[in-house]
């Protein structure tokens, strides 16, 4: 499967690929513990790819759901990437996962890190949103909207004590991501590790779309956008500091946020219309994420 051909039928492909090139040029992939191999040389075995992460990796609601407990789709970005590269995929991404689900159980599910081994070649990690309380934060903001729909009640609430609570949660999550990457490296010492950031949820220009489908106050869109950017910046920083690559999925998804109409958006609004979870990537969004990771991997020849 050619992901570029697949996204060619989706609106905004030029923007997607342009953004992916930005991510490609900006990203430095770790080669620690790897030995160079020619891109054209035959591989001795199939590449072993393990996908770790939360609902932005698992693809909740997107047909076909192959793991109902984790709300995992066979059309999520790890599945699309593995198919495009003909890699052997072990996908343990799970909705609701935090960094604690990496080393500890998530319900009846074993620790995600258990999927890694000495023979693992590639790892993607999509994590951090739940650690800052992504879903509950949005629910709080939506609940405050009716009190001041043209103002910024969400921002006022989270900064009322003189400290931005959401920014603090992002900062508090940084050492957890660092510890997670260290644990990944210990379990899979020869793997290429990619931290995959979060796509653009809210209009990048800060202009909102307050409605029944997106019940957020007009003045809070810029605040929520900035919070997401801080989360992604933290993930990029921790990736760089811990020998991993960072994949920027935000830049290529600008213009496809939850405020855009159906057919143009890659993120569903809080009242989802497409088969996907609210405020999460729909099928096109997962395709875009897969294409961005694929493009990032093309930046330099894959090394084992």
Cis peptide bond prior to 64, omega within 30° of 0: yes
Which residues have a Cβ under 8 Å from the Cβ of 43 and sit 6 or more positions away? 37, 304
Considering the candidates 30, 55, 58, 93, report the single residue annotated as catalytic. Answer: 55
CA 276 – CA 273 distance, rounded (Å):
8
Neighbours of 203 (CB within 10 A): 18
Tokens of 149: 């729909």
Neighbours of 18 (CB within 10 A): 12
CB burial of residue 186 (10 Å; 0-12, 13-18, 19+)? exposed
Closest CA to 258 of 230, 231, 277: 277
55 catalytic residue (yes or no): yes
Considering the candidates 30, 93, 253, 280, report the single residue annotated as catalytic. Answer: 280
List the alpha helices (DSSP H) in 106-241. 134-144, 153-158, 165-187, 221-241
Active-site positions read 55, 280
């Amino acid at each position: 499967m050619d992901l570029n051909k697949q996204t060619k039928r989706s609106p905004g492909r030029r923007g997607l690929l342009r953004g992916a090139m930005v991510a490609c040029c900006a990203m430095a992939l770790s080669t620690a513990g790897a030995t160079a191999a020619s891109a054209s040389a035959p591989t001795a075995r199939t590449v072993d790819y393990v996908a770790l992460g939360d609902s932005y990796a698992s693809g909740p609601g997107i047909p076909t759901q192959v793991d109902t407990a984790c709300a995992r789709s066979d059309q999520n970005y790890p599945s699309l990437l593995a198919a495009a590269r003909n890699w052997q995929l072990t996908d343990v991404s799970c909705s609701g996962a935090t960094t604690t689900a990496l080393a500890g159980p998530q319900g009846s599910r074993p620790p995600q890190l258990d999927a890694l081994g000495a023979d693992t070649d590639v790892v993607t990690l999509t994590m951090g949103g739940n650690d800052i309380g992504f879903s509950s934060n949005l629910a709080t903001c939506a609940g405050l909207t009716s009190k001041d729909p043209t103002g910024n009640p969400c921002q006022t609430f989270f900064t009322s004590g003189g400290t931005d609570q959401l920014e603090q949660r992002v900062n508090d999550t940084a050492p957890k991501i660092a510890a997670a990457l260290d644990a990944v490296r210990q379990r899979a010492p020869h793997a290429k590790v990619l931290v995959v950031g979060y796509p653009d949820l809210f209009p990048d220009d800060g202009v909102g779309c307050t409605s029944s489908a997106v019940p957020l106050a007009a003045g809070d869109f810029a605040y929520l956008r900035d919070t997401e950017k801080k989360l992604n910046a933290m993930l990029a920083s921790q990736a760089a500091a811990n020998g991993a690559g960072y994949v920027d999925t935000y830049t290529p998804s600008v213009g496809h946020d939850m405020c855009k109409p159906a057919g143009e958006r890659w993120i569903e609004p809080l009242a989802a219309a497409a088969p996907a979870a609210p405020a999460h990537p729909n099928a096109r969004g997962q395709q875009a994420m897969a294409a961005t990771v694929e493009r990032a991997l093309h930046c330099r020849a894959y090394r084992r």
